[in-house]
Amino acid sequence: FDRVFEVLDLKPLIRDREGARALGEVRETSGNGSAPAAEGPKADLEKGAAKGRAPTVRFDHVRFAYPSAEEVSLASLESIARTDTAPAREVLHDVDFAAAPGQLVALVGPSGAGKTTITHLVSRLYDVSGGAVRIGGTDVRDLTLDSLRSEVGVVSQDAHLFHDTIRENMRYARPEATDEEIGAALEAAQIGPLIAAMPEGLDTVVGDRGYRLSGGEKQRLAIARLLLKAPSVVVLDEATAHLDSESEAAVQRALRTALAGRTSLVIAHRLSTIREADQILVIEDGRVAERGRHEELLLQGGLYAELYRTQFARQDGDERSDAALTRD
Ligand code: ATP
């Protein structure tokens, strides 16, 4: 029983502060625009439902260290003070940037540089150790977690699908969604025809023991989910897994719809995304080492130019030959 009560007494490290406010509330009072008028599910999706209300996402001199396992268990028990723990290794040092409303910011950099960590802080999976992450001008620690997580849509590399029907997998993003809204999201994510062609349509069971979707199809379903949720901020880890070129093109089209009018932070593995980015942040050892657009950074001849040579030049070759093929 002691052990059971110990577990029941655990409090999550990240929780609402006293007086935390909903993101929508803060935005309304600060007069940052209002939601667009509804013109039916399809119209909303196609013009980017978040247009006009996408907020600025700002990292204000952010420093961050992952809490140690010891710290997590100590902090969870309120009766024990969070002292005498070894200082954790800082993985982000003075990260400072702003993604303006509707901008696409691409994060690139070597493995272990801190890109994923930056995306974790946007939806407040952890609290910063120094500085602040602000959405629409408000520190995320002053927002309710519910409102924050409903305004930030996350698409990770490996989308999780529940062993359930496509309809229920979609409703996970918005429980009250109608079949018409689900259909519009699937259509906009370039996966409508495939699902319509399945004998059981929306009732098809997917997941480990159900209908096996390919990597590209899974990602498009994840994008459809995001469209249904209609967040104003998107955090996306692009797939590194090789998709065949047809699937790749469909995913790119779906993404363009998904990101339109939303403030987005994308861990970019595709040259096409990087070229379209309003701002590229090159992350190295937990710092923003370089920033700018593709051509500017190439001209600088620094780390980005090096990354381009080792990671992206081959894709560039592929894109050029694809373009040549299309022209022929
Ligand atoms: P990749 O491109 O390989 O995904 P990344 O740039 O996304 O790398 P992060 O995953 O953000 O890098 O990792 C940054 C640093 O933080 C690394 O040194 C990593 O070992 C460390 N790290 C990541 N997650 C945790 C965690 N949960 N606890 C402790 N340290 C972590």
Q: Which atom of ligand 1 is nearest to the CA of 114?
A: 11
Per the CB < 8 A criterion, the answer to whether 26 and 138 are in contact is: yes
Task: Locate the DSSP E strands across 205-253.
Answer: 205-206, 233-237
Which amino acid makes up residue 308? Y
Residue nearest to atom 18 of ligand 1 (CA): 112
Q: Which atom of ligand 1 is nearest to the CA of 109?
A: 6
Q: What pLDDT was estimated at residue 199?
A: 84
Cα–Cα separations (whole angstroms), residue 245 to 128, 134, 216, 249:
39, 38, 10, 6
User: Ligand 1 centre and the CA of 128: distance in Å?
Assistant: 15
Interacting residues of 45 by C-beta distance below 8 A, sequence separation 6+:
184, 185, 188, 227, 230, 257
Interacting residues of 133 by C-beta distance below 8 A, sequence separation 6+:
57, 58, 59, 60, 62, 121, 122, 124, 139, 140
User: Ligand 1 centre and the CA of 256: distance in Å?
Assistant: 28
Per the CB < 8 A criterion, the answer to whether 262 and 102 are in contact is: yes
Pocket test for ligand 1, best of 63, 111, 116 (most atoms within 8 A of CB): 116
CA torsion angle 168 174 178 179 (round to 10) = -40
Q: What pLDDT was estimated at residue 137?
A: 92
Q: Using a 6 Å CB cutoff, which residues line ligand 1?
A: 66, 91, 109, 111-117
Q: What pLDDT was estimated at residue 81?
A: 47
Pocket test for ligand 1, best of 66, 158, 267 (most atoms within 8 A of CB): 66
**In tens digits, what is the pLDDT along the chain, a chain of 328 residues?**
888 888 888 777 778 888 888 887 666 444 444 444 445 555 555 444 444 579 999 999 999 999 876 666 655 555 444 455 556 789 999 999 999 999 999 999 999 999 999 999 999 999 999 999 999 999 999 999 999 998 999 988 777 888 899 999 999 899 999 999 999 999 988 899 999 998 899 999 987 777 788 878 888 899 999 999 999 999 998 876 666 677 777 778 888 888 889 999 999 988 888 988 999 999 999 999 999 999 999 999 999 999 888 877 777 766 665 555 454 4
Q: 3-class DSSP state for residue 116? A: helix
| Burial classification of residue 292, based on how many CB atoms lie within 10 Å of its CB (0-12 exposed, 13-18 middle, 19 or more buried) | middle
User: Ligand 1 centre and the CA of 257: distance in Å?
Assistant: 29
Residue in this structure with the two tokens 């007069």, named with its chain if needed = 31
Q: Which atom of ligand 1 is nearest to the CA of 286?
A: 14
Residue nearest to atom 17 of ligand 1 (CA): 112
Other residues' Cβ atoms within 10 Å of the Cβ of residue 6: 11
CA torsion angle 13 171 257 318 (round to 10) = 80
| Burial classification of residue 283, based on how many CB atoms lie within 10 Å of its CB (0-12 exposed, 13-18 middle, 19 or more buried) | buried
